[in-house]
Amino acid sequence: MQFSLQFRHPTTTTLTVAEDTTGQQKLFPYTSMIHYQNPLLDMRRLHYSRQSIQLDHYSTRHDKSYTLDITAKNNAYVLIALDEHWLTYRSKQKKENELTFYANECLLIYAEAGSYTVELGGVHNRFLVISLAPALLYPLRDEFEELITFMDGTNKQPLSAMNSCTMDPTFRYRLQRLIDMPFGRYKDFNRQLLWQLPPLLSAYKGLLKGKDRQTREKQLMDDVYRHIDKELKAPRKVSIEKLCEHFPVSRRKLERLFSAHQNRSPSNYIRSRKMVLMGDLLRTTDISILELALMYGYSDSQSFNRAFKKEMGISPARYRLL
């Protein structure tokens, strides 16, 4: 499998390859780590590649809605599991051919050899990309009618996808099992991947079967996200109790939904969104850091500085200069 990344700004690339047992154990199950840096992006990519399968785990901090280019040298099926914010993939051959999905969602894409872009939503992302040669997937599609239909019809667009689904505990468990293997058996890792792919696809099939219930839950969560942003922009204090009052949902269910859709608690999500919105104000207005801190309920700029740096990985003053 061969995929290459191209950056639109001068970017330094640092490659770390495990040369001894200790290094191999730290990176395992990946065989290398690539660190990309430019003024708008800090990306770490853990990488494992064989002829028919490739694993890449990306962790990024970046300017809002950062876009980079991808060249695919082979046709491939690509399973993507996204932890944070959103991603949009676009074909350069057909500008209107694009796919967008959101935090805690997964989907299976078919990509022809060619040129693409990916837009990284928010200001940080984490996602796992599993790229499979078509010949590898054909024997695994038995008794998966949706996958058979998808594979037989993907020659119409350079970029096609099955339905995106919210990852449930079963899918996450199978995803973890794919890369969870004792280091002592690292020579068998390729066999482990092939062994764990069928149950992972079965878990994805289960997500597709439960799509109707997930659609209703996703609509509720979309309403909750919009309400949180509206209140934070006011600005008004947002709490779990106030959300439960505004929406017909119990605290227990709301916490379960946030765990399922965001892989985090409601409080953690609210705090993260507040920092993103405050970051937007830092970048787009001349408001002072103290003024902004007081507006959002902080007693002084120091406490705001600590909270902002803990969430965003950078101080408010430095973030304003990006």
- Indicate which CATH number applies to the domain containing 254: 1.10.10.60
Rounded to whole angstroms, the Cα distance separating 224 from 258 reads 10
Structure tokens belonging to residue 316? 């408010």
* 165, containing H or E segment: strand 165-166
* 258, containing H or E segment: helix 251-262
Instruction: Answer for the pair 53, 1: CB distance below 8 angstroms, yes or no.
Output: yes
Of 209, 241, 269, which one is at a domain's C-terminal end? 209
Which residues in the chain show pLDDT less than 70?
1, 19-21, 23, 154-156, 183-186, 211-214
3-class SS at 243? helix
Supply φ then ψ for residue 132, to 5 degrees. Answer: -125, 135
- Domain identity same for 251 and 115: no
Structure tokens belonging to residue 284? 């787009």
Q: Where residue 188 sits, what CATH number does that domain have?
A: 2.60.120.10
Bond before 235 cis per omega within 30 degrees? yes
Rounded to whole angstroms, the Cα distance separating 35 from 263 reads 25
Instruction: Give the chain's radius of gyration (CA, Å).
Output: 21
Query: What integer pLDDT is reported at residue 141 of this predicted model?
Result: 85
Rounded to the nearest integer, the mean pLDDT of the chain is: 88
- Domain identity same for 242 and 305: yes
- If one counts the domains in the chain, the total is 2
- Domain identity same for 244 and 191: no
pLDDT, tens digit (0-9, with 9 covering 90-100), for 9-41? 899 999 988 766 676 777 778 888 999 999 999
- Domain identity same for 66 and 180: yes
Query: What integer pLDDT is reported at residue 143 of this predicted model?
Result: 78
pLDDT, tens digit (0-9, with 9 covering 90-100), for 73-132? 989 999 999 998 899 999 998 878 899 988 889 999 999 999 999 999 888 899 999 999
Instruction: Answer for the pair 95, 155: CB distance below 8 angstroms, yes or no.
Output: no
- Structural domain span for residue 162: 3-209
